[in-house]
Structure 1
């Protein structure tokens, strides 16, 4: 490009600070992000952008950090309608006595549609642009996300027993393969396979899941080593740890995302390293359910890719990934007994580029680099609770909360403008949410 060449583009975003994630550990000042269509055309100093680009729209953000959109790698979106319904209980009591019975009574296509839209509204408002979901009626979740223009990995459920979505493993696999074929070429929707956990899925269905993944390239997400009881029970009944069983069945590999991993031995780490499987860290859910603590530093030092997720709003109880990232950084230091562990920049990378790697889309998502998809957010650092600003990266992890997000774009399309959602009718959504809440309260009172 010569000095007198002017390039036309769609949007210019002028930022006080910019954290591109790539290169790692960098905070840039007075930068411009140029968007052309669905992609980032350039990231460059504002003075250089003045000389080289003319855009249809210019957005000035003089007190903001601009960074890649957050990637929430694990959740159950529809469960937002169960937020706060069964708190202060251990995992198996929470599941067996409260969540599974409630799902049997209430979960339907409309429940999933409304719960997913509620989850998307919260995630978009707090900086998430891509989320991973593992829940019932995945075809509804996929359509809702696509219609909203939000990126989603949608994992169809796979269990040994009947649910509201199917009679058993054969039907889940059949319907799941149809889901994969329906969405496999979509930029927004990434269909995936979601075996619930080793203790709810037997060897046969897990083997079928592996075969389906190999045929289609779909990723596999599974709850794994979530509690001490899960691991001890497997050792007692099968004489092997769950991760060893999965490795023997071929479940572990570069397309596999292992959620939770609070119970980790040296041999477990070796399995992860040797297979290239990813770990999805959900610290707040693990803390709230007293499930255990993921040894983040040990995993990172071993070369395991760690991304981050909120889990569902019924066990967190929010979907604010900035809050989750803060908790991850704090807990990692305590677990390692080292305050230098999991720096702010490393935590932000877990919430962005590492999630993109787990999805196999790091060439398109997770950092602000020319040629990548234009998924980015802006966070206002002008409020008193974030002042003064010495290090924006530190503020985003340790001082910020997601409500400071003011702007969001996915594929170059605005999803949040000046703190307001552009693609979700919030008043209408709240009417439907309150209707569900009334039904659930009525049943709880019976």
Structure 2
């Protein structure tokens, strides 16, 4: 062997098991992932890696499964500071009587910064490498994610009424357009438009959001068909289902992500399919708020792309996407009355390649392949309570917890090593979080 036959790499990851996601339903054994710069250079057997590559750093993971970083396609990151504040309430009571008043009292730039960092720490620690956020002060969320080296779709808010971020639709759209221009084409930040829901955004702002999306390429993410009341109220007031109204306004399309979608009939499925609109499934939030059950298998059979999100920690109450996958897989079987619905591999695809498709970035994210960005996680299946391991994919969905994530890389940069965050000062963050908890608790009891 001569020196010119050896290829240099920055990192070599030796994996006991590897799930590439594409091709589907595949588990490989004793593979090596070679990373050069921010990209995957090669995935080969460990024997072939010995012969062909020399790496600056070699990481041996003898009891681990390696897979693409998870993509959490919907949440409200800073609401982690409201975790457990108003549990066991229906959606509109939860929003009107508790969440919106608390937001009015506490949401500020500092609140957003600390709450977002808390959410990012939890997501990174449990395997998420890309997240989507829809909340106030998106410029702060974007800067924090960028500085931490975490990928994020950040949706600026759009509503008919004032919030801490703006006075109304005109200001939201003006600030949002500037936000999109600031972050467009950034490797980490994907700016997007976040009209809250059909019942909080009127036709004119929605039409302007569509025009802005078409002019800039920014995606639209909107809560849609979250509850039976939402659909019934729309029918009573306009004679149209919310999906029909959004289709007429050209909100639906291949660059639009509809979150929740629990109240569905055949016309809704047909509209989503014909327009290429994506669905974001948030099963645990939907269950906890008794919002309804999304017919994931119906969407999948119709060819609608379904990704997954945790929603915010105020309605979940965690951001562990592996836990969300467990719930999604179990729930899909009951809703479809079919134990084979949403297999473990299919659930993992929802949190990886299907999230990447919703972002329009499946050419570089969502699976492990040479040339794709090096967003990679490793999950340790060596715990005694995870034994024996017959099928690593099944274990990840049905037996695993996100805290089994031992390593994480984004763009080839380590974010988690041996279960420890590398770029977030957790003790300092916890001091700030406790300060917010004390203030919120005092306000609730006064």
Partner of 2:378: 378
Listed as ranges, the matches of 1:154-173 within 5 Å are 154-173=154-173
Per the alignment, in what secondary structure is the counterpart of residue 193 of structure 1?
strand
> Match of 1:10?
10
1:77 matched to which residue of 2?
77
Q: Partner of 1:412 in structure 2?
A: 412
CA distance in 2, matches of 1:2, 1:55: 16
Q: 1:5 Cα shift?
A: 1.0
Give per-residue Cα distances to partners, 1:363-388, cap 9 Å, x unaligned.
01000010000001000000012110
The whole-number CA distance in structure 1 between the counterparts of 2:221 and 2:233 is 21
Q: Which residue of 1 aligns with 2:44?
A: 44
Aligned twin of 2:216: 216
Match of 1:274 in 2: 274
Given that 1:133 and 1:152 are in contact with CA atoms closer than 8 Å, whether structure 2 keeps it comes out as yes
Residue 19 in 1 paired to residue 19 in 2? yes
> 1:186 — aligned with what?
186
What are the Cα deviations for residues 233-283 of structure 1, in whole angstroms up to 9, with x where unaligned? 000000000000000000000000000000110000000000000000000
Equivalent runs, 1:36-185 vs 2, <5 Å: 36-185=36-185
Give the C-alpha shift of residue 2 in structure 1: 10
Structure 1 match to 2:338: 338
Mapped partners of 2:98, 2:271: distance in 1 = 34
Using structure 2 for the length normalisation, give the TM-score. 0.99
User: Quick check: 1:3–1:52 contact (8 Å CA) kept in 2?
Assistant: no
* 1:83–1:313 contact (8 Å) kept in structure 2: yes
Q: CA RMSD in A?
A: 1.0
**Gaps spanning 5+ residues in structure 2: where?**
none
Who is 1:196 aligned against? Answer: 196
Q: Distance in 1 between matches of 2:305 and 2:62?
A: 34
| Cα offset, 1:4, TM superposition | 6.9
Secondary structure at the residue paired with 1:291?
coil
Q: Contact 1:3–1:51 at 8 Å: present in 2 too? A: no
Runs of 4+ in 1 over 2 A off after TM superposition: 1-4
The answer as to whether partners of 1:263 and 1:292 remain within 8 angstroms in 2 is yes
Corresponding residue for residue 427 of structure 2? 427
User: Which residue of structure 1 lines up, in the alignment, with residue 441 of structure 2?
Assistant: 441
Per the TM alignment, residue 185 of structure 1 is displaced from its structure 2 partner at its CA by 1.5
What SS does the aligned partner of 1:111 have? helix
- Superposed CA deviations along residues 37-77 of structure 1, whole A, max 9, x for unmatched, are 00000011110111110010000000000000000000000
Residue of structure 2 in register with 1:296 after alignment: 296
Q: Secondary structure at the match of 1:229?
A: helix
- Summarize the alignment of residues 303-382 of structure 1 with structure 2, pairs less than 5 Å apart: 303-382=303-382
Task: Name the structure 2 match of 1:396.
Answer: 396
Per the TM alignment, residue 3 of structure 1 is displaced from its structure 2 partner at its CA by 11
The structure-2 alpha-carbon separation of the partners of 1:102 and 1:31, relative to structure 1 and needing over 3 Å to count, comes to: same
Tell me the SS of whatever aligns to 1:197: coil
Find the aligned partners of 2:249 and 2:277 in 1 and give their Cα distance: 14
